Amino acid sequence: MTPLRTSHVYYYAAIVTLSVAAAATVGYGLIRREMLAANDFFLNVESKEMLSRLVDTSAKATPDDVNHALRQHAEDDSVVFYFNVHSADGKELFRSHNLKGNELPMLPVGQTKRTLELDGFGLMRVAQFDTPVGPMEIAISLKNFRRVNESFFLVMLGGLPMIALFSILVGMRLRRSTLKPVLMMQATASHINASNLSERVPVPRGDGEMAGLARLLNQMFDRLENSFKQIKRFTADTSHELMTPLSVIRLHAERMRNEPASPEHVRQSLDEQLQEVAHLTETLEKLMVLTKADSSVLPLDFKSSSTSDFILNFAEDTQLLAEDKERRFAVVRNDAAEASFDHGWIRQVLLNLFSNALRFSPPHGVISLHSKCENGQWTVEVWDEGTGVPSDRIGELFQRFSQINPSSQPRSGSGLGLAICKSIVELHHGTITSRNRTDRSGFVVAFSLPLNRKKN
């Protein structure tokens, strides 16, 4: 989420900077136009001065005449203005001293003012006026104008990054203060789970949107807590109501079973009864686990650890269990990576898959375990060499009370084992699948859990 929120700040800073840049550009254009207009105004005024000195001069005036009429004034204003007069046929009639050897360029017909670069003088504004003797060019240096322009440009060049930086800083600060209540709510909300549902997100002061949002979240948590409590009370009450009478049955049956005076047939029937009690207990406990898992009130203790260590630890026990049942067990592949999961429950899932495989394996059959860590997923597969499952019934496997056991096996499980595995795996944000083997007869059950994301 962080990049998104930070990108908002950059977005904001970019808008501020671009706006300033746009405003500056427009301002620059306006200032430039104003300054040129001011120069043009001076040129116009000056041209009037000069023209007034030329009114009495005829069109046939000699350079001397023009010189006589203009020299004095041209000298007076030579700090600012440059003058050049030509006759109608293009002969130069007058040139102010400050121009030295240079001539002011004649402007093309129809153009009266122009900004141009003149060797030795820099940027000039040249205006052309018609006089009785011919066209007169008056020029004014734009040195100051240029300096102002350059300073403006430099200020903008240095200023814009500063503005960008400043708006990022302000933006970050703004973001932090705006997001603070949201982040606080997020932090609290994210760690509220089945085990601490009574916590609530902090409500910011006032009646703003944030406070409203916080109150809404809290109301939602109230309802959630209530329904969680109901599930918990239901499982607690059900357990109590069923397990207490089961205890009485078990205690009496065991007592009679161990009575030396009990005849053999009584013992046998008591053994049967005890087996049924055990089976009923197991089924009830599994139903309770499923009820809790369904409503996410099952407490899970996520711990990060190495998948290969976990598998090795598990294999140590299964090796022995397999030997005890005269089956073989092999860890074919065991990749190492880090994953976070509840060790007790995932071990229980694996043990369940292994027990199923053991039950369906022929004598001396091999049960193999493949633990792969690829593409951010930890996949564990348990392969057996049994008869497999009819392909049209594979879908039923994870349903509750599904019994797809070989007919030779009487009721051998509760029919809830795989359903529990599915719930546990799903509570870990994982998936569980099954398929028949294609290389030989046999069955494969596989579950995948997300691996920890690598920290770079």
Does residue number 331 form part of the binding site for other proteins (CB under 8 A)?
no
Reported as type and span, the H/E element at residue 432 is strand 431-436
Task: Determine the Cα–Cα distance for residues 401 and 405; give it in Å rounded to an integer.
Answer: 12
316 interacts with other proteins by CB under 8 A:
yes
First to last CA, the chain: 17
Give dist(CA 435, CA 393) in Å, integer. 11
Contact 115, 124 (CB under 8 A): yes
**Closest CB to other proteins among 282 and 338?**
282
Residue placing its CB nearer to other proteins in the complex, 141 or 352: 352
79, 248, 261, 454: which one binds other proteins (CB under 8 A): 248
- 429 is a contact residue toward other proteins (CB under 8 A): no
Interaction between residue 192 and other proteins (CB under 8 A): no
CA dist., res. 447 & res. 370, Å (int): 11
Residue 453 CB, shortest distance to other proteins, in Å, is 28
Q: Which residues, 6 or more positions from 185, have their beta carbon under 8 angstroms from its beta carbon?
A: 201, 202, 210, 213, 214, 217
Strand duo 92-95 + 366-374: pairing: unpaired
Give the residue, chosen from 27, 29, 202, 299, that forms a contact with other proteins under the rule CB under 8 A.
299
Sheet holding 377-383, edge to edge: 328-334, 366-374, 377-383, 443-450, 431-436
Q: Using CB under 8 A, pick the residue from 97, 229, 255, 429 that binds other proteins.
A: 255
H/E run at residue 29: helix 2-54
Q: Which is nearer to other proteins, 44 or 281 (CB)?
A: 281
Q: Which is nearer to other proteins, 202 or 344 (CB)?
A: 344
| 3 state DSSP class of 60 | coil
Query: Would you say 90 or 245 has its CB closer to other proteins?
Result: 245
Answer yes or no whether residue 396 interacts with other proteins by CB under 8 A: no
Q: Annotate 262-283 with three-state secondary structure.
A: CCHHHHHHHHHHHHHHHHHHHH
Q: Provide the mask over 256-275, with x wherever binding to other proteins is found by CB under 8 A and - wherever it is not.
A: -xx-----------------
Residue 405's H or E segment, with its range, is none
| 320: contact with other proteins by CB under 8 A | yes
Minimal distance, residue 207 CB to other proteins, in Å:
38
Instruction: State yes or no: residue 292 binds other proteins (CB under 8 A).
Output: yes
Assign 320 to helix, strand or coil.
Answer: helix
Q: Site size for other proteins, by CB under 8 A?
A: 42
Does 295 engage in binding with other proteins (CB under 8 A)? no
232, 328, 372, 435: which one binds other proteins (CB under 8 A): 232
Considering only residues 87, 98, 167, 235, which one is a binding residue for other proteins as defined by CB under 8 A?
235
Identified binder of other proteins from the candidate list 84, 96, 131, 352, rule CB under 8 A: 352
Distance between CA 447 and CA 425 in Å, rounded? Answer: 7
State the burial class of residue 47 (Cβ atoms within 10 Å of its Cβ: 0-12, 13-18, 19+). Answer: buried
Considering the rule CB under 8 A, would residue 158 count as an interface residue with other proteins? no
Would you count residue 366 as binding other proteins (CB under 8 A)? no
Residue among 125, 133, 141, 41 nearest 85 (CA): 133
Interacting residue with other proteins among 2, 177, 190, 244 (CB under 8 A)? 244
Output the smallest distance, CB 313 to other proteins, in A.
9
Give the CA radius of gyration of the chain.
Answer: 48
Q: Which helix (H) or strand (E) holds 78?
A: none
Q: Does 236 bind other proteins (CB under 8 A)?
A: yes
- Which of the ranges 96-104, 147-155, 343-351, 425-433 carries the binding residues for other proteins, by CB under 8 A? 343-351
The residue (of 241 and 392) whose beta carbon lies closer to other proteins is 241
Query: Which residue, 298 or 389, is less far from other proteins as judged by CB?
Result: 298
What is the binding site for other proteins (CB under 8 A)?
195, 232, 235-240, 242-252, 254-255, 257-258, 277, 281-282, 285, 288, 292, 299, 316-317, 320-321, 324, 344, 347-348, 351-352, 355, 417
